[in-house]
Amino acid sequence: MTIRVLLADDQALLRGTFRLLIDSCADMEVVGEAGDGQEAVDLARTHHPDVVLMDIRMPGTDGLTATAAICDDPDLATTRVLVLTMFETEEYVAQALRVGASGFLGKYVTTEALLTGIRTVAAGEALLSPGATRTLIKRFLTGSSPAALIAPVERLSDLTPREREVTALVAQGHSNNEIADKLVLSVLTVRTHIQRALTKLGARDRAQLVVIAYQTGLVRAEPTSF
């Protein structure tokens, strides 16, 4: 199946570069280009892409607002947003995850990482590598502010003890294989627990599962030195 991608970036040259890379792959195609957030939302509703490659900083409607609009639209339930960001704006990454983005990449990512990221998100996985993003999640999804815990703990009430345990390990950055080893389960069983947790919590993907785990206090960040 061909992965349909929408590009949202105010730099036409960068959009053109991404289009060339994506269209060169047999399993992907660019279905549209947007120069700002509102255009991205409009084109997403027109084309129903599998993945929106979304820049954060754009004139007019920014990428965060556009991401929230796309992720809140029930008609776009199968559309995933992959955010592009600069390293120095990490706080925007956390905001993007809160509003429903499925992952993020550095704006000047390598070709291989970009294409792999699109495929990862299109497959329904979160682009949250266990090692590279654990610190980011701890720092910006929780932090010291009580406002970070914005989801009621009762939201977890439908989860079984095992589903809570697996969800917590996902939020701590463990891969399915690592969780299987820790709990002495098969990888298939781990995937089943994750899918059930996603369904019960109404989460779009693994990224939102991580956000919910931290926001409900199922997992708390420990003080980290920077």
For the chain, domain boundaries: 3-127, 140-215
pLDDT value of residue 109: 78
d(CA 101, CA 95): 9
Q: Which stretch of 79-88, 89-98, 111-120, 154-163 has the lowest confidence by average pLDDT?
A: 89-98
Please tell me the predicted confidence (pLDDT) of residue 142.
Answer: 52
Is the predicted pLDDT of residue 192 greater than 80, yes or no?
A: yes
196/181 Cα distance (integer angstroms):
20
Look at residue 145 in the predicted model and tell me its pLDDT: 45
Whether 152 shows a pLDDT value over 70: the answer reads: no
Looking at domain 140-215, its CATH class is alpha beta
Tokens (6 digits) for 16: 């053109």
Say how far apart CA 171 and CA 157 lie, in whole Å.
Answer: 17
Question: For the segment 57-96, what is each residue's pLDDT rounded down to a tens digit?
Answer: 888 999 999 999 999 999 998 999 998 877 545 567 677 7
pTM of this prediction?
0.70
Q: If we measure between CA atoms, which residue out of 162, 159, 142, 158 comes closest to residue 211?
A: 142
Query: The domain 3-127 belongs to what CATH superfamily?
Result: Response regulator (3.40.50.2300)
The more confidently predicted of residues 108 and 165 is 165
The pair of three-digit structure tokens given for residue 175, joined into one six-digit string: 């891969």
Q: Is the pLDDT of residue 31 over 90?
A: yes
Token pair belonging to 81: 């947003």
pLDDT for 134: 54
Describe the chain by its helix, strand, coil percentages, rounded to 5: 55, 15, 30
Both tokens of 113, joined, read 């990482």
